[in-house]
């Protein structure tokens, strides 16, 4: 048989179920062990109808077999190692919540300064508090700005930190959403003494940040 035969050259076959005569290439095909092609006896609509009838007739057995396969696959799986509890950052050990938010902010600032100093990064503090960042760090790549925040609030098991800033006076309160151009790094101290150093470019929210699995790579380790 020539290698370049088209599907029209394969001939026709009569469906054993509906008796319709259709081109042979429309019938399902499978490969025999000897390499030859075997065509099915049912046309596609009849094959589909037959499979549904068979399933309905053997539904309970099919479901039981599928459940058994799932259990067998589950038994073969290697259980993942238990997740290790996040270790606290040594500078943050003893971090407590203060009723006065300024005191708590100062505690977070002190932790950030101590951490950067320990790893050999020079730290500068802005002269005033009107900037949208709290620290400037100096390293081999130059100068970068750092915003420091603390949080003891959790949502669905993850610490949440507010990104927006609130200002104004007694007569008018202004809320400003997070802008990634305000600083290069966000340093967060959490209530369990863990800490995160997140690049501003990795933050997609503009109001608050949930420090879940997505940001686990930015958690600081001693």
Please state the φ and ψ torsions of residue 189, each to the nearest 5 degrees: -105, 125
SS3 163: coil
Buried residues in 124-160 as b, exposed as e (16+ CB within 10 A): eeeeeeeeebbbbbeeeeeebbbbbbbbeeeeeebbb
Nearest to 163 by CA among 197, 206, 102, 134: 206
User: What average pLDDT score do residues 166-180 get?
Assistant: 75
How do residues 54-109 score in pLDDT, each as one tens digit?
989 999 988 899 999 999 888 888 777 766 678 899 999 999 888 888 899 999 99
- What is the rounded CA–CA span in Å between residue 150 and residue 187? 8
Question: Which domains can be identified in the chain, with CATH numbers?
Answer: 7-76 (no CATH), 90-218 (3.40.1350.10)
How do residues 65-77 score in pLDDT, each as one tens digit?
999 999 988 888 8
How do residues 20-47 score in pLDDT, each as one tens digit?
999 988 888 888 888 788 888 999 899 9
pLDDT higher at 54 or 175: 54
Nearest to 113 by CA among 164, 189, 215: 189
Q: pTM score, two decimals?
A: 0.62
Q: What crossing angle do the helices spanning 44-57 and 59-76 adopt, rounded to 10°? A: 80
């Amino acid at each position: 048989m020539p290698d370049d035969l088209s599907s029209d050259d394969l001939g026709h076959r009569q469906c054993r179920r509906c008796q319709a005569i259709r081109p042979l290439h429309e019938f399902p095909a499978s490969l025999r062990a000897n390499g030859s092609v075997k065509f099915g006896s049912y046309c596609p609509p009849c094959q589909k109808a037959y499979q549904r009838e068979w399933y309905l007739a053997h539904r309970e057995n099919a479901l039981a077999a599928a459940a058994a396969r799932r259990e067998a696959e589950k038994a073969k799986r290697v259980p993942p190692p238990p997740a290790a509890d996040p270790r606290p950052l040594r500078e943050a050990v003893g971090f407590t919540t203060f009723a006065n938010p300024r005191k708590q902010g100062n505690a977070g600032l002190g932790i950030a300064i101590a951490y950067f100093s320990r790893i050999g990064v020079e730290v500068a503090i802005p002269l005033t508090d009107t900037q949208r960042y709290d620290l400037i760090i100096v390293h081999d790549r130059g100068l970068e700005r750092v915003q420091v925040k603390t949080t003891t609030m959790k949502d669905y098991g993850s610490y949440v930190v507010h990104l927006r800033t609130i200002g104004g006076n007694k007569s008018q309160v202004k809320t400003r959403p997070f802008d990634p151009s305000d600083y290069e790094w966000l340093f967060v101290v959490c209530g369990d003494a863990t800490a995160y150093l997140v690049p501003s470019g990795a933050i997609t929210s503009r109001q608050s940040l949930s420090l879940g699995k997505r940001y686990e790579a930015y958690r600081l380790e001693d």
